[in-house]
Structure 1
Amino acid sequence: MASNNSLSGGGLSIRRINYRVILVQVLVSAFLCINLFLITTFFMKDSFYTTMRYILFAITLFSDCLFLFITNVILILSYFGITIQMWLCLIIYIVLSVYTFVTPVTLTAMTLERFVAICMPLRHAKLCSTRSAVHLILIIHGLSSVPCTVFLSLFFASATYTLYSQDRVCSVEMFILYSWQGHLRSAISQFYFLMLCIIIVFCYTQIMKVAKAASGESKKSSWKGLRTVILHAFQLLLCLIQLWCPFIEAAVLQIDQMLFINVRYFNYITFILVPRCLSPLIYGLRDEMFFNALKYYALCGLYKKQVPG
């Protein structure tokens, strides 16, 4: 969230941390270009946007691109101390809050899709149709909006009207007027990710049972699905650790200002950039059909093994 994205601190000169901001800009730009190329590839082949797992993969790419772009804007505004009105920051916060959850919830949905494909193959075509994918996307965004709705309802009940017209440096702390609001926000987030972890562990266990009992091509497909679930679990773990970062940073801030800035910078790179860029890229490269399409378009059609249809 925005609270994890500010790399500047009181009394610290811009010159001393300028290289860090430049590095973040390079990484964000590179990740956005890669994700946009993956999204372009998704729309270039009919079978991708008519298959649920590819549709869900595209949702994670859209979510990550939007999240990275907005958090990077907040980082730059915070770095230069640029203030904006509270109502505009409120809109930004709503988008960030929703899309903080869209990626992990979508990853869990992708895990469930693999569970159905491997453990319930005869029902996969019916349960994972294109129409079902559209309904699932609406459910994902609905579930992702609940924490934001609860938190902002408490903020609206506590904030005064004049607060919305004030100019401030945008950060999530602006909406935490009382300490119990921050605790409630954290509790809701932890509950969500606990539920997501339980679902992924359940799917992992069931797929492992099928993989051990299968043979031939079925066994190969089951173990591949199992590795996909492990990848989703790893990314979800990084997203979960992101929720603990504010507590760690608050404790470190009481010790040393410079250490706080270093820890916040490390957290942004490790728990915001990495899980939202690395895993979608790996997932796209691990899928043979998607990888062949990527090679085809990257080489401008010179790669002929998988001709888009």
Structure 2
Amino acid sequence: MEDNSSLVGVESLRWHKLLIVQILVNLFLCINSFLIVTFFLNECFYTTTRYVLFAVTLFSDSFLLLISNIMLILSYFQFPIPVWLCIIMSVGARMYITVTPVTLTVMTLERYVAICMPLRHGELCSRSTTVNCVLIIHGLSSVPWMVFFSIFFATASRSFYTHDRVCSVAIFILFRWQADIRASISQFYFVLMVITIIFCYVEIMKVAKAVSGEKKKSTGKGLRTVILHAFQLLLCLIQLWCPFIETAVLQISLKLFLNVRYINYLTFSLAPRCLSPLIYGLRDEKFLHALKRNIFFGLCKINIREM
């Protein structure tokens, strides 16, 4: 009887965990949808670099939440799918895990240019430059996973693709050295982005100490934005290390592995995705005003110049 009640309790806890994730994912997707609609209804947003990069993070986060949630549900119910479908989902999910931290790094560089090089901001952050920047972001983000899956395609046998598997990136690691290569690339990206954030923070701090009055207020706000980016980026970068932590924990205990993976998903996958709306959706006066107009007066095109 105790065993049966214990099993019921464990199963109930698993369902509660899944329910919490579904509530959070749908909440964030709903918020992101409002912000994306607001972005497209105002011309000044999609002609301004920092708002375009903000929209990139919204699309990236929404896509990642959607795909990772599907993979989570499939994994929860141990539902096998064709390997080729798992490859497509994993490539998309893993690439967009990297897109957000790379975009945040570029957004920090944009704030650095705006505050430390204001006379060159218009030249360096033009519309054509922004489009090229978005393409570069996706190119850089795809490199680690192109390398990883290229190695997998070169080493996997043909029979591997004929099976149905429970979808997880772990099934594509056939040899230990594949995990080592993935770790090395992640470490390289981690170090590069951390150095960029620290450099921008130090330079903006220098400007903040040198200026005064209204300029100091603007610079201080830019500095706080960089700090928020740094915190969000830290959570995203830790997410890149989660697979290695989970692999080590799996060697100790399956139950501990499942708990650690759940906590990692909430802390380093969901949490950073709720910071983007905070940084540019609620802290930015222009965007917040447009968002309020859309919510309370309907989805209509707003001329920001008249605000």
> By how many angstroms is 1:185 displaced?
0.4
The CA distance in 1 between the partners of 2:246 and 2:161, in whole Å, is: 27
Please give the TM-score of this superposition, normalised by the length of structure 2.
Answer: 0.92
Q: Any conservation in 1 of the 2:29–2:62 contact (CA below 8 Å)?
A: yes
Which is worse superposed, 248-257 or 274-283? 248-257
Q: Which residue of 2 aligns with 1:270?
A: 267
Q: Please show how residues 1-309 of structure 1 align to structure 2 within 5 Å.
A: 14-300=11-297, 308=304
Q: Any conservation in 1 of the 2:246–2:261 contact (CA below 8 Å)?
A: yes
The CA distance in 1 between the partners of 2:105 and 2:279, in whole Å, is: 16
> By how many angstroms is 1:146 displaced?
0.6
Please give the TM-score of this superposition, normalised by the length of structure 1.
Answer: 0.91
> By how many angstroms is 1:130 displaced?
1.2
Q: Any conservation in 2 of the 1:85–1:165 contact (CA below 8 Å)?
A: yes
> By how many angstroms is 1:14 displaced?
4.1
The CA distance in 1 between the partners of 2:62 and 2:226, in whole Å, is: 22
How has the CA–CA distance of structure 1 residues 271 and 45 changed in structure 2, closer, same or farther, with 3 Å as cutoff? same
Deviation string for 1:28-48 (max 9, x for gaps)?
Answer: 000000011000000111100
Q: Any conservation in 2 of the 1:52–1:130 contact (CA below 8 Å)?
A: yes
Q: Any conservation in 1 of the 2:57–2:276 contact (CA below 8 Å)?
A: no
Q: Any conservation in 2 of the 1:249–1:263 contact (CA below 8 Å)?
A: yes
Q: Any conservation in 2 of the 1:64–1:277 contact (CA below 8 Å)?
A: no
Q: Any conservation in 2 of the 1:104–1:239 contact (CA below 8 Å)?
A: yes
Deviation string for 1:68-114 (max 9, x for gaps)?
Answer: 00000000111111111111111111111211111011001111111
Percent sequence identity is 63
Letter of the aligned partner of 2:85 in structure 1?
A: L
Name the SS for the 1:299 alignment partner.
Answer: helix
User: How well do the aligned residues superpose, as a CA RMSD in angstroms?
Assistant: 1.8
Q: Any conservation in 2 of the 1:231–1:279 contact (CA below 8 Å)?
A: no
The CA distance in 2 between the partners of 1:255 and 1:236, in whole Å, is: 29
The CA distance in 2 between the partners of 1:250 and 1:104, in whole Å, is: 23
Deviation string for 1:17-60 (max 9, x for gaps)?
Answer: 11110110010000000011000000111100000000000000
Q: Which runs of 5+ in 2 are unaligned?
A: 1-8
Letter of the aligned partner of 2:246 in structure 1?
A: E
Q: Any conservation in 2 of the 1:44–1:308 contact (CA below 8 Å)?
A: no
The CA distance in 1 between the partners of 2:261 and 2:193, in whole Å, is: 26
Letter of the aligned partner of 1:166 in structure 2?
A: H
Q: Which residue of 2 aligns with 1:5?
A: none
Letter of the aligned partner of 2:285 in structure 1?
A: E
Letter of the aligned partner of 1:250 in structure 2?
A: T
Deviation string for 1:182-239 (max 9, x for gaps)?
Answer: 1110110121021011111111111111111011121111111111111111011101
Q: Which residue of 2 aligns with 1:9?
A: none
The CA distance in 2 between the partners of 1:255 and 1:13, in whole Å, is: 20
